[in-house]
Each structure stands twice: as C-alpha cells, then as structure tokens.
Amino acid sequence: MIKLAVILPAAGTGSRMRSETPKPYLRLKGATILEHTIRNFLRVDGLVQIVIATSNPWMSQGNSIASSFKSDSLSVDVVEGGSERQFSIHHALQSLDDQVNMVAVHDAVRPFITTSLVELCCSEARDHGGAIVAVPAKDTIKRVDVKGFIQETPKRSTIWQAQTPQIFQRPLLERAYKKAIAEDYFGTDDASLVERIGGKVKVIAGDRRNLKITFPIDLRVAEMILEEGSFDVPQ
C-alpha cells in the first residue's frame, strides 16, 4: 500500500521575482502560492505526510500554514531549509514518518498540479523506482561550449523539460541523496541524483499549466489561469 510523503522545498528567495517576500509566500487570489500547492495534494490517494522546507525567517509563517492543514490522517511538518535546494530536501528526508514508503518532491511554487497526475506518477514510481512529470521541448535545444559556440543540436523528439512532482521509492531516493551529500555532488533535480546511482526513472507526460512561478510574468499567468476558469481554485 502506498504511503506517500510530499516534500515542498520553500526556502528560496524572491530575488528573481523582485520581491522581499519568498515566492511561496506571495499571494495568489486570496491565498499564498504555497497554500494553493498544498491544497492540490490533499485528495491524493495514500498521502500521509507533507514536509515544508523553509528558510529560518519564515518558519513561523510556514508553521502557521502547516497547522491549518493538519488532520488525524495527515501530518504537516516544517523543517528549516538549507543554503541549497538539495540541502533543504535532505533535511526534509530526515523528518519523514516511519510509515512513508514513497516520496514526492514538488516545487512549492507549482500551484497547478492535478491529483490525477500525481497519482499516475506515484503509480509509475512504485512500479519502476522513480517517475517524474515532464513536457516535450517546444524549442530546439543547443549545447554550447564556454565561449558560446554551438557544439551539438540534440534531436528535439528526445528532449523533455522536467517538471515536478518527481516521485521515488523512499529507499532509492534516500540512497541517492546520501551518496550525493557524501561526495559533495549537486544535481539540477532529484531525478539526476537517482540516475547517478543507476536508478530507473520513468517520464510521465505532464501539463503545461503546471508552471513554476519564478518571474513576475509567471505570477500574472497564474492569475489569468484562475481568472479564466481553466483551473479551479481549491476550496
């Protein structure tokens, strides 16, 4: 039986958003982005724990949000994030309940993930070890050298842009993080750490509305998605 924990790294700054408020705590249609994100996981079958990794100055706000979602069947915890995303997730992994056997890592600023996509990704991760949500690349990708000259043009049909959630069997993800931390290796996402130890990771076709709110224009797009009714505001 799946016992899923969701880790939400929320320790980043708001520098690219040109805001003193970290992105997860910005308001979006009456609630913080973080609250929207959490709500979209609440109906996921097998969810037993959510762990928010946030920066020290925002621990109080994180705890306030966490307490509003706790229930008899769901623990919502807050841990202090690290200087890098990878450290934040490592801290969160150390706070997982014993019953957890599957772990999803999801950007706290992707508030439009759907229950069905999470459950599909989780099912594939259970069967294969790991699974991530991704979308096919729309643009041609160029690999360049340090001087800016093109070295290679990968075939676009083989290129996918990774999103989150990225879901793994707990022992596999813990082993990947243990090795990365011990060797001072930093990957660009969780799947890259699992790949590095030989783990198999399945790609699940995602949804382009599952955007990561990074820049001011992304926040406006998110507002438009809600205003136009193409995505329900969770109640």
- Looking at every residue in the chain, the average pLDDT score rounds to 94
Peptide bond just before 216 cis, omega within 30 deg:
no
Mean pLDDT (whole number) for 105-127: 97
Percent of the chain past pLDDT 90, that is, above it, reads: 89
Of the CA atoms within 13 Å of residue 187, those in its CB half-sphere come to 20
Amino acid letter, 43:
R
Instruction: Encode pLDDT of 31-47 as tens digits.
Output: 999 999 999 999 999 99
Task: Return d(Cα 72, Cα 1) in angstroms, integer.
Answer: 19
Asked if residue 53 lies in contact with residue 81, where contact means CB atoms within 8 angstroms, the answer is: yes
Taken in order of first residue, the domains within the chain and their CATH numbers are: 4-227 (3.90.550.10)
Of the candidates 102, 109, 21, 30, which has an alpha carbon nearest to the alpha carbon of residue 58?
21
- Per-residue pLDDT at 227: 86
Of the candidates 10, 133, 96, which has an alpha carbon nearest to the alpha carbon of residue 61?
10
- Per-residue pLDDT at 102: 99
Mean pLDDT (whole number) for 115-128: 98
pLDDT band for position 235 (cuts 50, 70, 90): very low
- Per-residue pLDDT at 14: 58
Q: Is the model more confident about 225 or about 167? A: 167
Decide: helix, strand or coil at residue 214.
coil
Q: Is 195 exposed, middle or buried (0-12, 13-18, 19+ CB in 10 A)?
A: middle
Amino acid letter, 52:
I
What are the Cα distances from residue 9, in Å, to 3, 89, 90, 100? Answer: 20, 7, 10, 18
Task: Return d(Cα 167, Cα 130) in angstroms, integer.
Answer: 6
Task: Return d(Cα 25, Cα 60) in angstroms, integer.
Answer: 12
Asked if residue 177 lies in contact with residue 90, where contact means CB atoms within 8 angstroms, the answer is: yes
Q: Reply yes or no on whether the pLDDT at 27 is more than 80.
A: yes
Mean pLDDT (whole number) for 123-149: 97
Q: Reply yes or no on whether the pLDDT at 15 is more than 70.
A: no
- Per-residue pLDDT at 230: 53
Decide: helix, strand or coil at residue 81.
coil
Q: Reply yes or no on whether the pLDDT at 112 is more than 60.
A: yes
Distance of CA 39 to the CA centre of its chain: 14
Task: Return d(Cα 216, Cα 156) in angstroms, integer.
Answer: 29
- Per-residue pLDDT at 20: 81
- Per-residue pLDDT at 118: 98
- Per-residue pLDDT at 229: 67
Task: Return d(Cα 219, Cα 41) in angstroms, integer.
Answer: 20
Window from 186-190, 191-195, 228-232 with minimum mean pLDDT: 228-232
Report residue 17 as tokens.
């958003």
Instruction: Encode pLDDT of 59-89 as tens digits.
Output: 999 999 999 999 999 999 999 999 999 999 9
pLDDT band for position 234 (cuts 50, 70, 90): very low
